[in-house]
């Protein structure tokens, strides 16, 4: 009755927010399932069908969302590195930018070690697996090479933040090279997985090594 009085049925405004939220949740489920399977079975033994089964979706949904298995692994690794799927680069995130804002240089070293542990405990196993899978998957090999370039840039910024107004024991380029190695997923995995160190022990070692190697 009301519609007739106002001139007929009103056109419903389409709200895509619910559909977008569902698509994002589906993508997250696929990504998380793939993350588990890549670590349990390895890249080569993990099929798109297995990912679909683990995520509880049709395999066509996995292909529609990611197109290739390598793309699933890349996104899973990138989300593990930053902690979520928001389009904010790692170097612009508060956990990174806050290090430079710390006035005490030794506390900056401690914060750097702590942030690295936070990142690597989430990401190192999968990023190392992705690196290794690059031997059989060109898409992953290209992603790893790009990541190395980005890490070099990031480590130079990290060295500059660590130096602040206090300076460093070594030239900035050398400090960036040292941090590139010290903060790598390989070093984290060698200590925490291969040698069985606790995260706390590893963080203390990393903090102490950064201080003794780089700080005045």
| Fold classification of 17-67 (topology level) | Arc Repressor Mutant, subunit A (1.10.10)
Residue 4: band (very low, low, confident or very high) from pLDDT cuts 50, 70, 90: very low
pLDDT on residue 11: 53
pLDDT of residue 89: 87
Q: Which residues contact 45 (CB under 8 A, 6 or more apart)?
A: none
Q: What does the pLDDT read at residue 191?
A: 98
The two domains 17-67 and 87-216 share their CATH topology (first three levels equal)? no
Q: How far apart are CA 113 and CA 207, in angstroms?
A: 5
CA distance 54 to 92: 33
- Decide yes or no: CATH 1.10.357 for domain 87-216: yes
pLDDT of residue 30: 96
Domain ranges of the chain: 17-67, 87-216
Express each pLDDT in 106-137 by its tens digit.
999 999 999 999 999 999 999 999 999 999 99
Write down the pTM of the prediction: 0.85
Asked if residues 55 and 62 have their Cβ atoms less than 8 Å apart, the reply is yes
Q: What is the distance in angstroms between the CA of the first residue and the CA of the last residue of the chain?
A: 81
Question: Residue 6: which pLDDT band, with cuts at 50, 70 and 90?
Answer: very low
**Using an 8 Å Cβ cutoff, are 115 and 96 in contact?**
yes
């Amino acid at each position: 009755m009301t519609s007739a009085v106002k001139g007929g049925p009103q056109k419903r405004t389409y709200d895509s927010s619910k559909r977008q939220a569902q698509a994002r949740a589906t993508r997250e489920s696929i990504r998380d399932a793939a993350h588990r399977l890549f670590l349990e079975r390895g890249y080569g033994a993990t099929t798109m069908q297995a990912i679909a089964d683990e995520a509880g979706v049709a395999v066509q949904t996995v292909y529609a969302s990611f197109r290739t298995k390598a793309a699933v692994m890349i996104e899973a690794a990138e989300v593990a590195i930053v902690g979520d799927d928001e389009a904010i680069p790692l170097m612009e995130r508060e956990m990174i930018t806050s290090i430079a804002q710390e006035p005490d240089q030794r506390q900056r070293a401690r914060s750097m070690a702590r942030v690295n542990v936070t990142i690597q405990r989430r990401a190192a196993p999968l990023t190392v697996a992705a690196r290794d899978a690059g031997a059989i998957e060109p898409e992953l090999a290209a992603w790893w090479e790009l990541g190395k370039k980005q890490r070099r840039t990031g480590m130079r910024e990290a060295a500059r933040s660590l130096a602040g107004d206090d300076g460093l024991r070594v030239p900035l380029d050398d400090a960036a090279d040292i941090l590139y190695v010290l903060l790598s997923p390989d070093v984290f995995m060698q200590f925490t997985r291969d040698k069985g160190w606790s995260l706390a022990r590893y963080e203390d070692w990393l903090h102490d090594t950064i201080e003794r190697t780089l700080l005045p």
